[in-house]
Chains A and B, each alone.
Chain A
Amino acid sequence: MIDSSRTRRLALLPLLAAAALAAGCAQEQTRYGDARSVETVTNTFGSTDLQLIAESMTRSMLQAPVIVSGNLPIVTVQEVRNKTSEYIDTRAITDSIRAELQKGGKVRFAVDAAAMKQQIEEVQRQQGEFFDKEQATQKGKMVGAQYRMEGNITSIVKQVKDIKDVYYKFNLQLWNIRNGLLEWSDEKEIRKTTTKG
């Protein structure tokens, strides 16, 4: 009787080992990846789209006559309107474009509308009694931009049973603030198609 129970238990051992092994295989695994690799997890706006747009716009703008002239134009970043049906952090796109241009050393950026509140608060804070009057930033010393950068991102989405096609168009413009002339403009198009099965 005892022997039979032991045999049954022993017979269960391989099953238990197999179950443990399967559970082990199903475990989550986290690894670092290449932040600049082509991402195709879904066809919504992704990191590759953001990077492609930022790189393409920056390289194109570097060839604009107002930038090539070498006068270090002062630019302010305005809104990139999201006209797509999905949520896109357009600020992340303009931040990337600004960072690349700034790093290239051919453009200077003036404080934009979004950062104006913090800028004014800091200037006002320095007017306080705790700051050295000679070293504190005085009011009325900020430099205004010569150009403003703005844009749009639009999308066309088409979907049938097993196919979803997304087309993005990003347009960026550089306007001369003094005379209202459009100094530079370019577009980047992206198409992504997902098929099931």
Chain B
Amino acid sequence: MNRTWIVVLLAAALLAGCWGTKPGFEKAGFAYGCPIGDAKVSSMQDLVKLKVVSEGKRTTIQATEMRCTLTGDLLKIDASLNNDSSRVKRISYKYRWIDREGMRAWEEETWKPLLMYENSNLTINAVSPTNKAVDFRLILMSQE
């Protein structure tokens, strides 16, 4: 009798495990916590390509990773940058905030200067200025 109960309980636990929500699943329209709309993003590389833009003088600094989360009702972003050259690089960056309709949710940010040591990684973080900002672009420019 006892053995039957154990088998039944084990089977129930197994089923519950199979039917439970798998960790790591994201809402539609999001990848790595970042809003992507209808874009097809299947890797971190795709996400970086979608979100990082170069303006003005091009830089060799590469964005390698990007993760987003919500802090209250504001979007919080961590972007990892990599300088794989053997020289110190100077760049500037800013975020462009976009609202639900695809319009600018905030005025243009100030360009923020950044120094990156040779062969180094750096994570820059940002918080959206308003809860109207539901999407963003990270803009990089060389300052050399």
**Residues on A facing B (Cβ under 8 Å):** 34, 36-38, 48, 51-52, 55, 58-60, 62-63, 68, 100, 103-105
Closest partner residue, chain A, to B110 (CB atom):
A51
Q: How far is the CA of A105 from the CA of B126 in the complex (A)?
A: 19
Tell me which of B72, B94, B126 contacts A68 (CB under 8 A): B72
Whether B113 pairs with A100 at a CB distance below 8 angstroms is: no
Instruction: List 19 A-B residue pairs with CB atoms under 8 Å apart, sorted by A's residue number.
Output: A36-B110, A37-B111, A38-B111, A38-B143, A48-B113, A52-B110, A52-B112, A55-B109, A58-B129, A59-B127, A59-B129, A62-B72, A62-B127, A62-B129, A63-B71, A63-B72, A63-B127, A100-B129, A104-B129
Smallest beta-carbon distance A58→chain B, Å: 7
With a cutoff of 8 Å between Cβ atoms, the chain B residues found around residue A62 in the complex are 72, 74, 127, 129
With a cutoff of 8 Å between Cβ atoms, the chain B residues found around residue A38 in the complex are 92, 111, 113, 143
With a cutoff of 8 Å between Cβ atoms, the chain B residues found around residue A52 in the complex are 110, 112
Chain B 125-144 interface 0/1 with A at a Cβ cutoff of 8 Å (1 = within): 01101100000000000010
For the complex, is B101 an interface residue (Cβ under 8 Å from A)? no
For the complex, is B26 an interface residue (Cβ under 8 Å from A)? no
Whether B113 pairs with A36 at a CB distance below 8 angstroms is: no
**Residues on B facing A (Cβ under 8 Å):** 71-72, 74, 92, 94, 108-113, 126-127, 129-130, 143
Whether A105 pairs with B130 at a CB distance below 8 angstroms is: yes
Closest partner residue, chain A, to B113 (CB atom):
A38
Tell me which of A55, A68, A103, A104 contacts B110 (CB under 8 A): A55
Whether A59 pairs with B126 at a CB distance below 8 angstroms is: yes
Closest partner residue, chain A, to B127 (CB atom):
A59
Tell me which of A55, A63, A100 contacts B74 (CB under 8 A): A63
Whether A36 pairs with B130 at a CB distance below 8 angstroms is: no
Most buried by B among A51, A60, A62, A103: A62
Q: How far is the CA of A131 from the CA of B67 in the complex (A)?
A: 58
Q: How far is the CA of A174 from the CA of B114 in the complex (A)?
A: 28
Closest partner residue, chain A, to B91 (CB atom):
A38
Whether B110 pairs with A48 at a CB distance below 8 angstroms is: yes
Q: How far is the CA of A33 from the CA of B53 in the complex (A)?
A: 21
Q: How far is the CA of A142 from the CA of B70 in the complex (A)?
A: 36
With a cutoff of 8 Å between Cβ atoms, the chain A residues found around residue B112 in the complex are 52, 55
With a cutoff of 8 Å between Cβ atoms, the chain A residues found around residue B127 in the complex are 59-60, 62-63
Smallest beta-carbon distance B93→chain A, Å: 10
With a cutoff of 8 Å between Cβ atoms, the chain A residues found around residue B110 in the complex are 36, 48, 51-52, 55
Q: How far is the CA of A38 from the CA of B111 in the complex (A)?
A: 6
Q: How far is the CA of A5 from the CA of B53 in the complex (A)?
A: 66
Q: How far is the CA of A77 from the CA of B94 in the complex (A)?
A: 27
Smallest beta-carbon distance A165→chain B, Å: 13
CB-CB nearest 3 A-B residue pairs: A51-B110, A68-B72, A36-B110
Q: How far is the CA of A68 from the CA of B113 in the complex (A)?
A: 29
Q: How far is the CA of A48 from the CA of B92 in the complex (A)?
A: 11
